[in-house]
A and B are shown apart, each in its own frame.
Chain A
Amino acid sequence: MATVVFDRVTKRFGRVRALNDLSVTIPSGTILGLLGPNGAGKSTMLKLIAGLYRPDGGRVTIDGDVPSPKTKAKVAYLPEIDYLYGWMTVRQILDYVRAFYPDWDQVRAEELLRFMALDPAARVSRLSKGMRARLKIVVAMSRSAPLILLDEPLSGIDPPSRSRVLSAIVSEFREDGQTVVMSTHDVAESENLFQEVLFLREGQVALMGDADQLRAQRGKSIRDLFEEVYA
């Protein structure tokens, strides 16, 4: 289990404040939807947790520790962009990543490879965009990591691949030991996946809560709430 705490975190890019004095606690053992339009600060939040950005103010902690090699061992991070070595084959990518993570599950990796219909001998640079996105999912979900960060995992993927990706996330999620944080601005497709939702606006929390409770209290779907919050 991993609990993530943002304590008055500010992150600036030049004059723009991507996160503005943000304080929030991401509870463990849940699938949290990190929602907001472009520029809301979703990716910045995930990169801060992964230790790829450093806060300009405040503190981010994972189980009480600031991001370090120790916390990185608990985090499986899937960025929106292509971040895997293009010259490697699918198999070489899996072998390379596996060497660094004791929680790597080879059986699950092989199952996911088949489920995602990926050829282990194929070179990454020659895969289609959808295939590369599916490979990123395989890399992230083949670990028994306590914290899984998915940054727009459906971005640019064709509909058949989207359903595969969502199915993989649901089927591999372990409620007893994992927290999944998934950012998206495409709420309709993934709304049923989320147990918790966090709406970000201009680097601050606009709304946060249990997805079912919010639906019941407001009498609206998460998608309708999204439109209401960002109207």
Chain B
Amino acid sequence: MWWQQYKKELMGNRTELLFLLGFFLVWTLFLLSRAGVWEPAVVIALYGAPPSGILPLWALWASVQLYRQEWRENTSYLMLSLPVRARVITSAKLAALLTGVLGFALLFAVGGWLLLARTGLWGEVFQRHVFSLIPWEYAVKMSLLTGGAVLAALVIVALVAQFAYVFSRLFSRLQGLVMVWTWVLSFWLMARVVDVGGRLLAFMPDFHLRLLTIHNQVPEFEMVTVESGPLWALALFVAGLYTLLNAVLERAVEV
């Protein structure tokens, strides 16, 4: 059941996803053709600009669109009459969104590597200078951690957007206004929960992170302590919001 729902979400939004990936592919190919013509720094800066601007906006738009189109095209009649718990639908929609983000990230990584190689920056910076001092194992670990954090942030943004839209469906008027206010209040509440929850959960064991710094061409590791309380509070808030989204979709919202 979940797989069918996930497949439906992917197939139903493939046009937008392929358009986004296609646009970025064309942009990458264009910049590859400019390598050696333009300054390497300009090429790399232009390459990084669209993902940092477009990807979060697309994720936000797609999050709402995954639900909005169900009501706009009256397929909410089918979606809400399915004999499944709401979590099957909500998780499939989130997973489809993440698939799009991961596809984009993969394209970005491959394109970035090609550009760095083509502009010669890979050899200049990554091999001769500071980056050659970073152990591969550490680089992979930090890349995964950074990627995971970006992904988690996108999931939170997507979840809040989806909750705001579904919650706005409970109102017959001013749905747009309700959605915007729900969005704003959810983030305000999240900040409060992280603040207060972080203090209440201060007894939780801290996280330790090995950070690499380079002084005079010599790599040095230092241990950084990260309080886990705020992170646990954030995780609890996200779990609570997801539960609420499912409850609203299953018990309150109408076609």
Contact = CB atoms under 8 A, between A and B. Distances in A.
Interface of A: 13-14, 47, 50-54, 68-70, 72-73, 75, 77, 79, 81-88, 95-97, 99-101
A89 to B, nearest CB: 11
A152 B252 CA distance: 26
Contacts of B76: 83
Contacts of B74: 79, 81-83
B135 interface: no
A73 B84 CA distance: 8
8 contacts: A69-B83, A70-B83, A77-B77, A84-B75, A85-B78, A87-B11, A96-B8, A100-B83
Interface string B56-78: 00000000000000000111111
B227 interface: no
Interface residues of B, number: 24
Question: Interface residues of A: mostly helix, strand, loop or mixed?
Answer: loop
A52 B252 contact: no
B255 interface: yes
Interface of B: 1, 3-4, 8, 11-12, 73-78, 80-85, 172, 250-252, 254-255
A50 B8 CA distance: 22
Given A69-B83, A69-B84, A77-B77, 15 more contacts: A52-B254, A54-B254, A68-B250, A69-B85, A72-B82, A82-B74, A83-B75, A83-B77, A83-B78, A85-B12, A85-B75, A95-B4, A99-B4, A100-B4, A101-B83
Contacts of A70: 83
B77 A69 contact: no
Given A85-B75, A100-B1, A52 B82 contact: no
A52 B255 contact: yes
Max chain A C-beta neighbours (<10 A), residue from B1, B83, B250, B255: B83
B245 to A, nearest CB: 16
A140 to B, nearest CB: 11
Nearest to B3: A99
Nearest to A83: B77
A142 B202 CA distance: 57
A125 to B, nearest CB: 10
B62 to A, nearest CB: 16
Contacts of A87: 11-12
A68 B172 CA distance: 23
Contacts of B252: 54
A121 to B, nearest CB: 16
Contacts of B254: 47, 52-54
Contacts of A83: 74-78
B114 to A, nearest CB: 33
A160 to B, nearest CB: 26
A50 B76 CA distance: 12
A150 to B, nearest CB: 13
Contacts of B172: 13-14
Max chain B C-beta neighbours (<10 A), residue from A50, A70, A85: A85
B73 A72 contact: no
Contacts of A68: 250
Contacts of B82: 69, 72, 100
Given A52-B254, A69-B250, A75 B73 contact: no
Nearest to A79: B77
A146 to B, nearest CB: 12
Contacts of B84: 69, 100
Nearest to B251: A54
A201 B80 CA distance: 28
A88 B85 CA distance: 23
Max chain A C-beta neighbours (<10 A), residue from B1, B84, B255: B255
B1 A99 contact: yes
Nearest to B85: A69
A84 B82 CA distance: 13
B255 A47 contact: yes
